[in-house]
Structure 1
Amino acid sequence: MRHQGRITRWKDDQGFGFITPDGGGEPVFVHIKSFASRRLRPSEQDVVTYTLGAGERGPQALKVSYPGERRPASRPRRAGGNGTAGLLFAGVFLGFIAVAVMLGKLPLGVAGLYGLASLLTWLVYWKDKCAAQKEARRTPEKTLHLLALIGGWPGAMAAQQILRHKSIKGSFRFVFWLTVIANCAVLGWLLSPGGAAVLGLIAALGR
C-alpha cells in the first residue's frame, strides 16, 4: 500500500530526513537510498509517495517517488552553496597564485601548498559525503575548517558545489568564510614588504 506525505525535514549533506503523512501522524524516516529516482534531489516541502517498511529507527519510507516524478513548479528549488560564483572565485584565486609565483612574488612552495591542500580537502569532503550517505562516522567540522584555513578552501568550494556537501548549513558556512578571509589575509601579508622580507629570510635559511 502506498502512502502520500510531504518532506518536512531534510538534511541534504547527510542524505536523510522525515516525511509527514497526509492527514497527520508521526513523521516517517526516509533515506536518500529509498528514492526510486535520483534525477531529483529531495528538498523540504516536496510531496512524495512511499511504502512503509521497518528500519533501524522504526518505521521507514521505502520506494519513495514524486507524483508523476515532477517537483511542484510553483516552489523554486532552494539554491545552496557557493554556486558558480564560488567556483569562479576559487579559480581566479588559484590563477592569481600562479601569476604571483611566475613574477617571483611568491615562492613555488606556496602554490604547491594550495594545490596539495585543495586536493586533500576535496578528498576529505568526498569521504565525509560518503559517510553521511551510509550513516557512518563523520569527519569533524573543525577538521574541514582547519584544512580550509591552511589553504584548502578552493578545494572545499569545489567540493561544496560539485558534491553538494556542506553547502547549506548556515553555521558551518559562516565559519568556513571566516577561514577563507583569514587565509587570504595571511596571503596578503606575505605579499607585503614585511611578509616578503620574512619569506626571503626563510628562503635564505633553507639554502
Structure 2
Amino acid sequence: MNPGQLLQGTVCYWRDDKGFGFIATDSGERLFFHIRDFEATPQHRPQRGDLLCFQLGLDKQNRPYALALQLATANTILLTPSTKTISPKGPAIYQIQHQAWCFRYLFFVLLLLSLLAGSFAFTVPLFYLEASLFTYWLYQIDKKLASSGQQSRLPEESLQMFSLIGGWPGAWLAQKRLHHKVHKAPFQREFRFVIYGNSCFLLWLLSESGTAFLHKVALF
C-alpha cells in the first residue's frame, strides 16, 4: 500500500472510550486509527464492521496507520476487489486449547523420563527449546486472533504459564518480532516476574539440593 492512495478496510476492533481502533484490510494487514484522524466528524462513532475509506500514513516509529478517514458510503466505495467485507476469521480456539493440552502432557512425560534416566541437566536445553517454540507459536496464534477481530482469545495466564515452564525465550522473541503484548504494562510486569521465577527455579534444580530433590522424585 502506498501513502496517499485511497484505501478501504473494515473496523475489526474499536474502543470507544479511548477513541481508537484497528482496521483490517483484505491484504491481511491490521492498521491503527484514531477518531481524531477523520477528515470530518463522522455521522456516528465507528463500530466494528464499519467500512472505512482512508489513506496510509506513517507514525514516528515508521509504522503504518490509517489517516484521512471517512465512513464509506455509496459514493465512496471503491470498485475494486478490496471492497469485499472482511469477516473475522482466525484459528478455532478449541483446537488451540487441545494442542496446548497435548504439549503439556508431552512436556511432563519428557520431564519424567529425564528424571528416571538421571539426565535432567543434559536435557534442560531441549526443554527450553521445545517450550520456546511452542510459546512462540501461541503468540502467533493470539496475534492472528486479535488481528481477525475475534473476541475469543488465548488467556494471558496461559501465555504466562508456558513462559514460566521454560518458554519465556520464545515469548520474548515473539513480543519483539510480532509486537504483541509489548505495550501492556501489567502483562510485562508479570512477564518479568515469570523470567525471574523460572531462572531462580532452574538454578535451584541444578544446585546440589535441587539435584538431590530430583533424585528423590525419580526414585519415588
TM-score higher than 0.5 here? yes
Amino acid at match of 1:140: P
Contact 1:49 1:64 in 2 (8 A): no
Give the Cα–Cα distance (whole angstroms) in 2 for the partners of residues 65 and 50 of structure 1: 14
Q: Would the alpha carbon gap of residues 17 and 64 (structure 1) be closer, same or farther in structure 2, given more than 3 Å must change?
A: farther
| 1:32 maps onto 2:23 in alignment | yes
**1:198 match:** 213
Alignment partner, residue 150 of structure 1: 165
Give the letter aligned to residue 151 of structure 1.
Answer: G
Tell me the distance in 2 between the aligned counterparts of 1:35 and 1:51: 26
Tell me which of 122, 126, 134 is aligned to 1:120: 134
2:123 aligned with 1:109, yes or no? yes
State the superposition RMSD in angstroms: 4.3
The code of the aligned residue for 1:57 comes to: Q
Distance in 1 of aligned mates of 2:214 and 2:58: 57
Q: Indicate the SS of the match to 1:184.
A: helix
Residues of 2 paired with 1:182 and 1:122: CA distance? 19
Unaligned runs of 5+ in 2: 1-11, 64-118
CA contact (8 A) 2:14 2:48 kept: no
In the other structure, the counterpart of 1:176 is: 191
Match of 1:57 in 2: 47
Matched, 1:134 2:148: yes
- Label 1:63 to 1:30 Cα distance change in 2 as closer, same or farther (>3 A): farther
Q: Which segments of 5 or more consecutive residues in structure 1 lack a partner in the other structure? A: 1-14, 21-26, 79-104
Q: Specify whether residues 36 and 195 from structure 1 end up closer, same or farther in structure 2 by C-alpha distance, changes over 3 A only.
A: closer
Identity %: 30
Tell me how many residue pairs correspond in the alignment. Answer: 154
Call closer, same or farther: CA 1:125–1:192 in 2, change over 3 Å.
Answer: same
Question: TM-score, normalization: structure 1?
Answer: 0.57
Q: Deviations over 1:111-161 (max 9, x none)?
A: 211111101100110000000011122000000010011000000000000
Superposition TM-score, scaled by structure 2 size: 0.54
Distance 2:129 2:164 in 1: 13
- One-letter code aligned to 1:138: R
Q: What SS does structure 1 have at the residue aligned with 2:53?
A: strand
